[in-house]
A and B are shown apart, each in its own frame.
Chain A
Amino acid sequence: MSEAIRFLAPRQDVLSRRAAIVADLADLLPIECLVQDARGLAPFETDAFVSYRRVPLAVALPETTAQVAAVLKYCHRFNVPVVPRGAGTSLSGGAIPQEDAVVLCLSKMARILELDYANRTATLQAGVTNLRISEAAAIDGFFYAPDPSSQLACTIGGNIGMNSGGAHCLKYGVTTNNLLGVKMVLVDGTVIELGGKHLDAAGYDLLGLVCGSEGQLGVVTEATVRLIAKPEGARPVLFGFDTCEQAGACVTDIIASGIIPVAIEFMDKPAIEICEAFAKAGYPLDVGALLIVEVEGSEAEMDAVLDSIVEIAGRHAVKTVRQCQSPTEAALIWKGRKSAFGATGRIADYICMDGTVPLGKLSHVLNRTAEIVESYGLRVANVFHAGDGNMHPLILFNANDPEDAARAEAAGNDILKLCVDVGGCLTGEHGVGIEKRDLMRHQYSAIDLAQQMAVRAAFDEKWLLNPSKVFPLDGRT
């Protein structure tokens, strides 16, 4: 287990009252909605950022907003930290608990409450998985646009917490651009509603504040999101290049020409090999870099846009252009891309970085990333959302070798700092969590951070909600 990132020291007074707290929670929840056994708590000690682990005090699995409110009210009154959790798929450690915290896991609240096509909205409990929204609306020709790679498993509540993105966000925007309203429980148990089915609400944009607040402003229990009509057709096309520079320059030119494809995904050679071995999607193995460009619309529209993109790619010495021939093939192309992180697990442990850079810096950052990782004696695979400059270097290492793990973390920090230094930012879509918390100073001045913390404190004066995350531990106000 890594130790470079510190957690808040557990509150001894909370730990010493553990038995009483668990007994009180048992009064608030049905028996199957509380995990208190030491063996049962261990599997909740981490999420998909598995380098860091802390066994929580207890896990609450509420079935209703009222139960969420009751647990929060209790924890607020007795100063017990609370870590909200959806499906535990965070790559930045957003759902990793701490020893003195109650995990508030919304996985049992997984009902789709309403599909309202007249208003193009879906209303969901927070534990509904991202993909289920699109699956439920598919039969009527609609979908929910943000599509994180973990969309099969991640929950809409978690998406809101992290303002998640995905491959198709280049055209449709990230979670905040597709979220219309939430029901949320404040730290003291008060239930509030923000937004609704309309595009904008009167007064401050509190919904915008909540989206991406990493579970620190309250716990979302229901969400209303925008549905979009499915396009007539969609086609992913593979563009293979000899070098990453050529592929990177091509992306820049496509965007600069005014074309906005639905997605432009980038894979370097190691990533291509990993994904092809898993998905057998027909990715070309004789190229140094691959772009998956998806266009959509009518046949004529797709042809026209593709012609322009092919022409641009030609200027960058594109080596292979392959249009997919069937829906099955298209599905495989996306399956390979969306499984990239997990499939990497077949060859090594990895940490997945998430930084965003200005498009013009793409090639530079890719080159520097390779140099940085090599300087630590490690390997890297790059598979990311190139269209919006959202980099995801996967740094490969051996988790059973503590020194290797430390090197991987150090390399990751260097890469994220590089993203900031070229004018980008620390996160694209995974959030800050625990992983990037101590790098926040590299992005923000003390005054910037103080302002953000003031907002946080306005919602949660006692810093009980997900307290070890987002803001560096020293210098908190």
Chain B
Amino acid sequence: MQTSFTPEQLEDPQVAESEKILRRCVHCGFCTATCPTYVTLGNELDSPRGRIYLIKEMLENGRPADEETVTHIDRCLSCLACVTTCPSGVDYMHLVDHARVHIENTYRRPLSERLIRSLLANILPYPARFRVALQLARLGRPLAAVFAKVPALAPLAAMLRLAPAKQRGSSTFHPEPEPGSRTGPKTGRVAILTGCAQSVLDPGINAATRRLLARFGVDVVAPPSGEGCCGALVHHMGREEEALGFARRNIDAWIGEIDGAGLDAILVTTSGCGTTLKDYGHMLRLDPLYADKAARVSALAKDITEYLSTLDLPVLESRRLSVAYHSACSLQHGQKITTLPKLLLKAAGFTVRDPAEGHLCCGSAGTYNILQPEISAQLKARKVANIEATRADVIAAGNLGCITQIATGTKIPILHTVELLDWAYGGPKPAGLDSLRGKDKAGPVAAAKI
């Protein structure tokens, strides 16, 4: 696509990068078809191609963001389905990142939006604060219906409704190995991202991961001091300096281990964070002090299923349990990991089913379900209907955001892929599967297979 930037504008490396991205776009419109918001709303402005055009105009004219542009960029889930679809290789992810920073720097949002965003940015990434906020949210839950009636307060209502009545999972209470307490010969040495919200909402996921890895001879180092939120939450709000701050902190925390005893991988069990970790190298490319270290950390970042796939886990006898695999956007589009989680589940004996429209986002998308509750609810309903149509016994997903979102829409139990794998390879039975009596035993399954 033709662009018109002045040489002066192109001296800004961010603008220069965006110009290159825009030049790739041939305006073919393929991306519209797989964009969840276009499919839901049917308006070009809520499609990747429309947003690319809005961003192009805004950046070319070097003007502050305006309400119309912000409205449609805000509706983008950053699910990156468009990136998977685009035949021309348009790097929409970094283009919309740039646009969000530009919006944050040049646009003054209405007071209620500023408050909500500030609240999210100052609570979610900090586990101690988030824990307190969750307690308050449980108390405030009855207010959700009241808030929902006032448009400006709808995000608050969404937030209250999302707060789980009790912590998910019970696997926290199962004994988990001390760091370094692997069994068998050593096969690897890894760190696991503790992160932020997941460590509060469902610590059982990482506990299951540690148990599973220990069983296969992988040493998991204790979380180095300073490690925390990956920065994705604020990154997607365009709060770039805060995001880079989180990134640098994590890099500092891991680089000691990497340069010390060495790490084979930095594992991520929340794929939304994985996409961001893998992008540290790009995010900090202009920082001479961190560019190199960031690239090294990104190179080591692996989704848990990527790493498990290298371990040659034994193939287990089939069991009756059927699993609907929900492919998180951050895995399938952000990290291009599509088949590995399903292959692992199959090898562990589960019957895996693919819901229709698997490329469409469930509407969770970080803080999207709080900031855009209406569109998010429509996408959730569509996702749940597609999952329930598989008639699977349990849902597996690789991202806590999706798990929390889908859990509020269906009675089918939903677990992290790694919790099912841990169970299959000798770990405790995950909570929530008690209703599935008789289907959890390994054994001949010819009749139950479809």
Contacts and interface: CB of A to CB of B under 8 A. Distances in A.
Nearest to B69: A39
A108 B38 CA distance: 9
Scoring A1, A47, A343 by chain B CB atoms within 10 A of each residue's CB, the highest score goes to A343
B57 A39 contact: yes
A387 interface: no
A46 interface: yes
Interface stretch (A113-121, A297-305, A345-353, A434-442): A345-353
B32 interface: yes
B27 interface: yes
Interface in B158-189: none
Given A42-B53, A342-B86, A47 B44 contact: no
Interface in A95-131: 105, 107-110, 127, 129, 131
B129 interface: no
B54 A152 contact: no
A88 interface: yes
Interface string B65-103: 010110010000000000001111100000000000000
A40 B54 CA distance: 8
Contacts of B30: 89, 150, 152-153, 339, 342
Contacts of B267: none
A283 interface: no
A40 B24 contact: no
Given A39-B68, A40-B68, A107-B44, A345 B24 contact: yes
Contacts of A108: 41-43
A445 interface: no
B24 A48 contact: no
B28 interface: yes
Interface in B358-403: none
Given A50-B26, A341-B87, A345-B25, A153 B68 contact: no
Interface residues of A, number: 44
A159 interface: no
A37 interface: yes
A339 B87 contact: yes
Given A50-B2, A341-B26, A43 B50 contact: yes
Nearest to B65: A39
Contacts of A400: 2-4, 23
Nearest to A45: B53
Given A39-B54, A43-B49, A110-B42, A152 B25 contact: no
Contacts of B2: 1, 50-51, 349, 399-400, 405
B43 A344 contact: no
B42 A47 contact: no
A50 B24 CA distance: 13
B29 interface: yes
A167 interface: no
Contacts of A44: 44
Interface of A is mostly: loop
A346 B43 contact: no
A87 interface: yes
A61 interface: yes
Given A50-B2, A105-B44, A342-B88, A349 B68 contact: no
Given A110-B42, A129-B33, A43 B53 contact: yes
Interface string B40-68: 01111100011001100100000000101
B119 interface: no
B1 to A, nearest CB: 6
B45 A48 contact: no
A35 interface: yes
A131 B357 CA distance: 13
A342 B44 contact: no
B424 to A, nearest CB: 27
A43 B69 CA distance: 11
Contacts of A105: 44
Interface string B14-35: 0000000001111111111110
Scoring B33, B38, B41 by chain A CB atoms within 10 A of each residue's CB, the highest score goes to B33
Interface string A269-313: 000000000100000000000000000000000000000000000
Contacts of B50: 43
Contacts of A43: 44-45, 49-50, 53-54
B386 to A, nearest CB: 13
Contacts of B53: 42-43
B54 to A, nearest CB: 6
Scoring A39, A129, A344, A399 by chain B CB atoms within 10 A of each residue's CB, the highest score goes to A39
Contacts of B86: 342
A214 to B, nearest CB: 18
A87 B72 CA distance: 18
Contacts of A129: 33
Nearest to B72: A40
A154 B66 CA distance: 30
B29 A87 contact: yes
Nearest to B71: A40
Nearest to A135: B356
Given A50-B1, A349-B2, A127 B87 contact: no
B26 A88 contact: no
A339 B85 CA distance: 10
A49 B26 CA distance: 9
Contacts of A87: 29, 32-33
B57 A107 contact: no
Given A342-B88, A400-B2, A150 B28 contact: yes
Interface in A368-410: 399-400, 405
B50 to A, nearest CB: 4
A90 B1 CA distance: 15
Contacts of B38: 107
Contact of B87 (A37, A89, A278): A278
Contacts of A89: 28-30
Contact of B42 (A48, A61, A154, A278): A61
A35 B85 CA distance: 27
Contacts of B3: 400
Interface of A: 1, 32, 35, 37, 39-40, 42-44, 46-48, 50-51, 61, 87-89, 105, 107-110, 127, 129, 131, 150, 152-154, 278, 339-346, 349-350, 399-400, 405
9 contacts: A43-B53, A47-B27, A87-B32, A131-B33, A153-B31, A341-B26, A343-B88, A346-B89, A399-B1
Interface of B: 1-4, 23-34, 38, 41-45, 49-50, 53-54, 57, 66, 68-69, 72, 85-89
Given A48-B27, A50-B26, A400-B4, 18 more contacts: A1-B2, A32-B41, A39-B66, A43-B53, A48-B26, A50-B2, A87-B29, A105-B44, A109-B42, A110-B42, A150-B28, A339-B87, A340-B87, A341-B28, A341-B87, A342-B26, A349-B26, A350-B26
